[in-house]
Amino acid sequence: MGSKDKTVNVLKNLEIVQNKIGCKKKNLIILHQIHSNKFYHINKAPNRKVFGDGLITKKNGLALSVLTADCAPILIYDKKTRMIGAVHAGWKGAYKKIVVKMLKYFLKKNSKKENIIVAIGPCIAQKNYEIKSDFYRKFINQDKNNRIYFRKFKKKTFFSLKDYLKGQIRAFGIKNIDIINVDTYELKNNFFSSRRSLHNNYNDYGRNITTIMIK
């Protein structure tokens, strides 16, 4: 799963999730995440390792899951077609517009924008997301209007991943957006954080799991 934690501990934690949501062990689906805009529409649990950052299904009992540690977990639900999606969106996936790509797929599968609900889960807050000048230029070159997602303070520049994603979703025409305004970096007793671990000189960190399933 990316962490150096003992396999027995990882499996025990996944079992807690399975029991909590009521899904079979094989149906807790977790991708091998690669910070891409690649996603899959699945009808059953894959029998091999799958590389990508998004999952979609309409099948009951499949728990679509993403792992994060400062990146944004995003859940999508169409209340009419009952199609669901789970997205892992770090800055690379967000820049490649993985969420928009998946929303376009929803529409191809007969979803209507007014029936889609999108939830952006806990991720790193802007005040703790300092970036370098080349990062800033990359986003401004994509769209000069992206400057609204950056804030400069004491010769440092900070990026709002959450607002950047929210902006994409709103620009696509989705009005039903639920945002959990929680900072994974700051709440050390509740969430794992890649950047916090780096700042504390830790050589590893855990992962937060976000799951959606149709029962």
Torsion sign over Cα 98, 62, 210, 69: negative
Mean pLDDT of 100-124: 98
Tell me: pLDDT of 1 over 60.
Answer: no
Residue whose token pair is 């303070």: 153
- Centre a 10 Å sphere on the Cβ of residue 181 and count the other Cβ atoms it contains: 9
Domain membership flag for residue 136: no
Vertex 193 angle, CA 103 and 119, to 5°: 25
Domain membership flag for residue 200: yes
Vertex 28 angle, CA 79 and 205, to 5°: 110
Question: What whole-number percentage of the chain has pLDDT above 90?
Answer: 89
Query: Residue 177: beta bridge partners?
Result: 118
Mean pLDDT of 60-71: 97
Domain membership flag for residue 151: no
pLDDT tens column, 159-183: 999 999 999 999 999 999 999 999 9
Domain count for the chain: 1
Tell me: pLDDT of 15 over 90.
Answer: yes
Domain membership flag for residue 144: no
151 within 8 A of 158, measured Cβ to Cβ: yes
pTM: 0.94
- What's the CA gap between 188 and 208, in Å, rounded? 12
Mean pLDDT of 92-113: 98
Q: What is the CATH number of the domain that holds 167?
A: 3.60.140.10
- Centre a 10 Å sphere on the Cβ of residue 188 and count the other Cβ atoms it contains: 12
Give the residue numbers spanning the domain of 54: 7-122+160-212
| Residue spans of beta strands (DSSP E) within 60-149 | 63-68, 72-78, 84-89, 116-120, 130-131
Task: Specify the pLDDT at position 5.
Answer: 62
Domain membership flag for residue 143: no
Mean pLDDT of 85-109: 98
Average pLDDT value over all residues in the chain: 95
- What's the CA gap between 58 and 41, in Å, rounded? 9
Task: Specify the pLDDT at position 156.
Answer: 97
Domain membership flag for residue 155: no
Domain membership flag for residue 148: no
